[in-house]
Amino acid sequence: MKFETLAIHAGQEPDPTTGAVMTPIYQTSTYAQEGVGEHHGYEYSRTGNPTRTALEACLAALEGGEYGLAFASGMAATDAVLRLLKPGDHILAGNDVYGGTFRLFDKVLAPYGLEFSYVDTSDLDQVRAGLRPETRLVWLETPTNPLLTITDLAGVAEILRAHPASPWLAVDNTFATPYLQRPLELGADIVVHSTTKYLGGHSDVVGGAVVVRDAGLRERLAFLQNAAGAVPGPLDCFLVLRGLKTLPVRMDRHAANAAAVADFLAGRSQVKNVLYPLLEGHPGAELARRQMLNGGGMVSFVVKGGEAAARRAAESTQIFTLAESLGGVESLIELPAAMTHASTAGSPLAVDPGLIRLSVGLEHVEDLLEDLSRALAARE
Ligand SMILES: Cc1ncc(COP(=O)(O)O)c(C=O)c1O
C-alpha cells in the first residue's frame, strides 16, 4: 500500500465487537482474565492498550519499520532510547538539536555517566572524527531544530557500518515526518518522534514515538516502556492516530506555504538570512532534494537589528501566534534563543538571539505573507 493509504488504514480494522470504523478509545487501565494468565493479549494498560497498539502499528508502517512504540512525549521517547546505554558509553550527537534534547543529555543523562560530544553532522568528516571505540549511538536531527541543517543519512549510516563498534544511528524525524523522509530506509536503526508536532498535527496532544526494525531492539525498548512507564493515554493515542490520517495532505500544504514564505523573506530588506532546506543557496539544498519529498513546513530567519528587532517582529504578528511548538495547522512564531532553545544558552549549541523560527501553518498564504510584511515593518 502507498503512504497515503497506510496513513489512514495501517494498524486499524473496524472494531471486532461493534464494527466501529474509528479505533475506539479503550479508556481502561486493566482487562478481565478468564483464568489466571488467560486473557486476550492485554493485562494492564501501562504494558499495552488496544488504542496504543493501533497507533504503534500505524507509525511502524509509515516509517517503513517493523515495530512502533508510543510514549507520553517526545522527550520520554528520547529518554527510553538513551536508556539502552550504560555509564561509560559515548553518544555522538548533532550540535543543533532541540533544546530539550540537549537539556536531557547535558543535565540528566551526563551526570549518570553517559558521555556526550557534539559535532555538525552535516559534515561527514566531523562524524568520522567524532567516533570513539566506546561510541554506541549517533543521535541527530535532519532538518535540525532550529537551523534546518541537512545531514546525509545514508552517508552517516555507511560510516557507522564501517566502524568497529557499529554504533546505532538514531534520527529524530520530527521536523521531516515519515511522509518526507524515512531514515530506516536510509540505514538508520532508530527513529524518534515528538508526535506532538506534525504527526498529531493540531496542537492538541503531547506524545512521542520510537520506530525500529530490529526485534531485539524492540524487545529492549518495550521493556523500558513498560518498566519506566512513560506511556501515552488512550485518548492521546486516538488523537495522534486521527492526525496521521491527514498527514500527507497537510505536509504538502505546509511545504507549499513554507516555500512561499521563505521566498518572500529572502526578498525583504529587513531580513539578513533565511534558512529553508530547498531555498537556493542553502548548503543542504541538493541533498534535501534527494533525501526529502519536499522542504517541510519550518522556516527560520535572522532579522537585521539583532534580538530587539527579532522580538519586535515576533510580538507584532496577528496570524502567526507567538508560541513554542510546531507542526499544527495554525502558524506559530518564536525566538529559539529565548524560548524553545533557552536551555542551550552559554553552551556551544547556543543560537543567535536574532533568529526567528516559523512553523508555517495551513492558512491562506497571502494572509501569512501580509502578516509577516506588517510585522517586519513594525516600529517600537
Ligand atoms: C525536534 C524535536 N524533538 C523532540 C521534541 C520533544 O518533544 P515533546 O515536546 O513532545 O516532548 C521536540 C519538541 O519541541 C522537537 O522539536
CA distances from 230 to 54, 208, 215 (A): 18, 10, 21
Give the SS3 label for residue 342.
helix
- Cell for 208? 512521542
74 CB within 6 A, ligand 1: yes
pLDDT in tens, 259-276: 999 999 999 999 999 999
pLDDT in tens, 88-131: 999 999 999 999 999 999 999 999 999 999 999 999 999 999 99
CA distances from 316 to 26, 308, 333, 338 (A): 43, 12, 10, 16
352 CB within 6 A, ligand 1: no
Q: Is 98 a catalytic residue?
A: yes
Looking at the predicted structure, is the pLDDT value of residue 342 above 70? yes
- Cell for 318? 496577528
65 CB within 6 A, ligand 1: no
If one counts every other C-beta atom within 10 angstroms of the C-beta of residue 291, the result is 23
pLDDT in tens, 292-329: 999 999 999 999 999 999 999 999 999 999 999 999 99
Residue 365 contacts by C-beta under 8 Å, 6 or more apart in sequence?
256, 257, 260, 261
Q: Is 179 a catalytic residue?
A: no
Using an 8 Å Cβ cutoff, are 163 and 135 in contact?
yes
Task: Confirm whether pTM is higher than 0.85.
Answer: yes
pLDDT in tens, 172-222: 999 999 999 999 999 999 999 999 999 999 999 999 999 999 999 999 999
CA–CA separation, 152 and 119 (whole Å): 14
Q: Which amino acid is at 136?
A: R
336 CB within 6 A, ligand 1: no
DSSP assignment letter at 31: -
- Cell for 338? 529565548
pLDDT in tens, 136-177: 999 999 999 999 999 999 999 999 999 999 999 999 999 999
6 CB within 6 A, ligand 1: no
Nearest CA to ligand 1 atom 14: 325
Nearest to 109 by CA among 127, 136, 148: 136
CA–CA separation, 97 and 147 (whole Å): 9
Using an 8 Å Cβ cutoff, are 182 and 308 in contact?
no
Reported in sequence order, the residue ranges of the chain that DSSP labels E, i.e. its strands, are 67-71, 90-94, 115-119, 135-141, 168-172, 190-194, 208-212, 271-275, 298-303, 321-322, 332-334, 355-359
139 CB within 6 A, ligand 1: no
Q: Which of 15, 31, 46, 242 is catalytic?
A: 46
Tell me whether residue 242 is exposed, middle or buried, using C-beta atoms within 10 angstroms of its C-beta: 0 to 12, 13 to 18, 19 or more.
middle
208 CB within 6 A, ligand 1: yes
CA–CA separation, 237 and 250 (whole Å): 19
Q: Which of 52, 197, 250, 253 is catalytic?
A: 197
Which residue among 104, 105, 145, 357 has the greatest number of ligand 1 atoms within 8 angstroms of its CB, and so is best to mutate? 145
Q: Is 128 a catalytic residue?
A: no
CA–CA separation, 87 and 237 (whole Å): 33
CA–CA separation, 174 and 142 (whole Å): 9
Measured in Å, residue 169 CA sits from the centre of ligand 1 at 18
Give the SS3 label for residue 65.
coil
Q: What is the dihedral of CA 106, 109, 114, 119, to 10 degrees?
A: -30
Measured in Å, residue 29 CA sits from the centre of ligand 1 at 27
Give the SS3 label for residue 194.
strand
